[in-house]
Structure 1
Amino acid sequence: MKKLLFIFLATLSTIANAQNTIPKSATEIAPLLIGEKIPDITLKTAENAVVKLSDLFKKKKTVLVFYRGGWCPYCNAHLQALAEAEKQILDLGYQIIAISPDAPENLKITEEKDKIKYTLLSDSKGELIKAVGIAYEAPENYKSVINVHSKGDNTSLLPVPSVFVLNPESDILFEYIAPDFKHRITTDLLVSVLTNLK
């Protein structure tokens, strides 16, 4: 009986450790799936105000974007494309919320540089990207950049660039996850998806 109990506890411990292990590469992530809920976590705005995700999501359907940071040219191009399509997205009844590991003051810089009016949020400690299952261990050459842009809160995690479409209850209706950070969903495809989800 003791042996069985030991095996059971050892198995539980292994499972718990596996769930807490951060993948070594972007292709090894295990993201939440369509039908699951985005966890209700508290993040910070560009103005350093604390916001609860569920409070933002319940206002209207959401296009939730995860990007690597304002230092990433591919992310900036994607954020700018979303800004250009924002009116179409708003007209379809959605809001845009984009999240990165950048500290709030760096979100401000991105807002101004990319002429963004939609909401940017800081997940500088990586809590949300871990909970959503899109965090992975950053390559060595990125770690100092992440550290600087998160103001020391994050020294090793990056999100795989992702777009989730949510209903007001935080349920995932659609997702686009790109382990190759150079590839992003086009705004035409996104608008088509949003139109079909109406």
Structure 2
Amino acid sequence: MLMTGSPAPDMVLEDTDGQAFRLSDHQGKNAVLIYFMRSTSCPVCNRHVQDLARSRDEFVAGHVRVFVAVPEDRQEAAAWKARRQIPFPVLTGRRGTPHEMVGLSRRLFGSMQQSGDLLVDIRNVIRHVHGATLPTSAYDRKGIIAAVQGLRAHP
């Protein structure tokens, strides 16, 4: 798992349109928050994405771009995004899952995908990272909001 205060890895993912997403492309431009869903079929994770959408103005004010990473393939992710009207870009892995790139593995006998969140500032430094096996504790709203407010206090 990644550590707060350390440099972020240069992740290369793919959005639902097939365009490459590189974390390093955002360096010097805006902070990036990635929410890693356990699965697009996870009702708890879907509620977390809805909460992110409701908090969109706060992220915009903090110059934070929000992305949602899913373990499914691009086609399935695109269908989920359209069906749920997700207002954020949805990312998938090019090889493996986005989760593996940040240390969110499968736990409990390899059957449950971990989920969590990652906030990287414009200098490519991790300002918040959180992960959990149970989806109910994988979204750290208070930690995310505190980290975003910290970005505004120390740009």
TM-score bucket (shorter structure): 0.7 to 0.9
**Residue identity in the other structure for 1:190:** I
- Specify which structure has the higher proportion of strand: 2
CA distance in 2 between partners of 1:185 and 1:50 (Å):
25
Cα deviation per residue 1:19-70 (whole Å; 9 max; x = unaligned)? xxxxxxxxxxxx1111222321321111122232211454301112111121
1:59 to 2:23 alignment: no
> Which of 151, 169, 173 does residue 123 from structure 2 map onto?
169
CA distance in 1 between partners of 2:110 and 2:100 (Å):
19
- Specify which structure has the higher proportion of helix: 1
- Structure 1, unaligned runs of 5 or more: 1-30, 143-157
> Which of 14, 39, 51 does residue 44 from structure 1 map onto?
14
- Structure 2, unaligned runs of 5 or more: none
Identity rate, percent: 18
Q: How does 1:83-98 map to 2 (within 5 A)?
A: 83-98=53-68
Note closer, same or farther for the CA distance 1:193–1:39 as it changes in structure 2 (3 Å cut): closer
TM-score by length of 2: 0.82
Q: Which has the larger radius of gyration?
A: 1
**Residue identity in the other structure for 1:50:** A
Note closer, same or farther for the CA distance 1:69–1:177 as it changes in structure 2 (3 Å cut): same
TM-score by length of 1: 0.66
RMSD between superposed Cα atoms in Å: 2.4
